[in-house]
Amino acid sequence: MNDMYLKFGISEAVLAYADKTEQGLTERFKAIDRNAEYCQLKVIKAMQEHRVSEGCFEGSTGYGYNDLGRETLEAVYASVFHAEDALVRAQITCGTHALALAMAANLRPGDEILSPVGKPYDTLESVIGIKDAPGSLKEFGITYRQVDLNPDGSFAFDRIREAIRENTKLIEIQRSKGYATRPTLSVERIGELISFIRSIKPDVICMVDNCYGEFTEPIEPTDVGADLCVGSLIKNPGGGLAPCGGYIVGKKEYIEQCAYRLTSPGLGKEVGASVGLNRNFFQGLFLAPVVTAGALKGAIYAASLYEGLGFPVVPNGTEPRYDIIQAVTLGSREGLLAFCKGIQAAAPVDSYVTPEPWDMPGYSDQVIMAAGAFYQGSSIELSADGPLCEPYNVYFQGGLTWYHAKLGVLMSLNEMAKAGLIRL
């Protein structure tokens, strides 16, 4: 086996160090596999209950009326997430679009959004209006406030209580860490936060940004009281086969509003051609639990290896996992570039190119992204990215298989060693 890795240019020193670490991860990996088995059965059961058939794989065109596959897929998603309804569409372009859609559909002028977990993803700043942008919610008279987490990552319950006002209409809870090093929220913790908020304002809409978290646990935020749960199909639930799209699951009244915003008032869920993508969406969802498990193993592997070399990592090598993202604080521009160079070199697509920082839309600093993916921007595929600013954190995620994730981590270590940034 080592001979095969040597063909990728990985040094024997890197392989020897990594092999010792991997031997200590057996029990962690078994637990991930057990969760994947449970989630796999959950998906299959939902598909059986809604009588998924070969006819569901046919695509519609034009208006998309009477699309059996699209309607069945949305029923399956609702069942998997134990929600009343779902909107699963290729016309939802990304996770940011799905979040913007859910908020714009269910908020009106004078309403307020409150984030009780600090600043959201950079791309949401323009949506909300934290950063001025044409068409932001701020332009429509919708305001935003946030309550930061405590320094230890716990919820600031007293400050949250004070922040909830009469016009607070929607609570935005981001499950994953984004470009930060705070802990990712478990579903259990999200449930505790929702229960607390409901004790203060029962009619507020609780929306969870579920990106990167699907199938990492046996339950989802809709199991613990979330009214809306939002994500991208080119992340976990698409299983690497969905080439685009997003989903919103939750209470029927809010999903209906989302459908009217996505298409048109009076049309809603009745239109929206699936243009031949139904098979990809169904099969991707079927594979998603196992694909997510491979990504989780890769994240734990990366955390353990880099932590062993003295780099700060979030989560650390022993903490429970609630999303597929691994943050590593590399401490230098050179480290960030070397890490991403290694990930790119491990890719099946565009392995021969060198990633360069660029002014990515929606971000304040230049961002470097390594991703030799079959689908552009697919975060469930092996990738790494980070903003070119202190403390030079890299965010590693994905890997359609554990073996590919492992190769990517090894290649990143190899590039770090070649650059003289680590000693083995």
Read off the CATH number of the domain in which 98 is found: 3.40.640.10
Mean pLDDT score, 399-410: 97
Q: In the listed set 275, 297, 323, which residue is the last one of a domain according to the structure?
A: 275
Within a 10 A sphere around the Cβ of 90, how many other Cβ atoms? 22
**Which of the four pLDDT bands, split at 50, 70 and 90, describes residue 40?**
very high
190 CB-near residues (< 8 Å, 6+ apart): 173, 175, 208, 221, 224, 226
Mean pLDDT score, 132-156: 96
Within a 10 A sphere around the Cβ of 2, how many other Cβ atoms? 11
> Do 291 and 32 touch, CB atoms closer than 8 A?
no
**Which pLDDT belongs to residue 363?**
73
Give percent of the chain with pLDDT exceeding 90: 95
Q: Which domain holds residue 145?
A: 57-275
Mean pLDDT score, 43-66: 97
Same domain, 189 and 217: yes
> Do 167 and 110 touch, CB atoms closer than 8 A?
yes
Same domain, 173 and 89: yes
Same domain, 196 and 291: no
Mean pLDDT score, 99-121: 97
Whether the per-residue pLDDT at 365 is higher than 90: the answer is no
Same domain, 312 and 183: no
State the Cα–Cα distance between residues 384 and 326, nearest whole angstrom: 9
Same domain, 328 and 408: yes
Residue 291 phi, psi (nearest 5): -65, -45
Dmax of the chain from CA atoms? 65
- Strands (E) in 315-415, as ranges, are 326-329, 367-370, 383-387, 393-397
Residue 52 lies inside a defined structural domain of this protein = no
Same domain, 214 and 302: no
Q: Quick check: helix, strand or coil at residue 115?
A: strand
Instruction: At 57, list the tokens.
Output: 């794989």
**Which of the four pLDDT bands, split at 50, 70 and 90, describes residue 222?**
very high
Alpha helices in 212-277 (DSSP H): 252-262
Give the closest residue to 41 by CA, choosing from 288, 322, 233: 288
Instruction: At 99, list the tokens.
Output: 């979040």
* pLDDT averaged over every residue in the chain: 96
Whether the per-residue pLDDT at 114 is higher than 70: the answer is yes
Whether the per-residue pLDDT at 342 is higher than 70: the answer is yes
Same domain, 238 and 290: no
224 CB-near residues (< 8 Å, 6+ apart): 187, 188, 190, 191, 194
Structural domains in the chain (count): 2
Same domain, 270 and 304: no
**Which pLDDT belongs to residue 113?**
98
Same domain, 72 and 162: yes
Same domain, 22 and 92: no
Lowest mean pLDDT among 83-92, 161-170, 191-200, 371-380: 371-380
**Which of the four pLDDT bands, split at 50, 70 and 90, describes residue 362?**
low
Same domain, 212 and 298: no
Whether the per-residue pLDDT at 423 is higher than 80: the answer is yes
**Which pLDDT belongs to residue 375?**
95
| Full-model pTM | 0.95
Same domain, 29 and 102: no
Residue 46 lies inside a defined structural domain of this protein = no
Lowest mean pLDDT among 13-22, 121-130, 353-362: 353-362
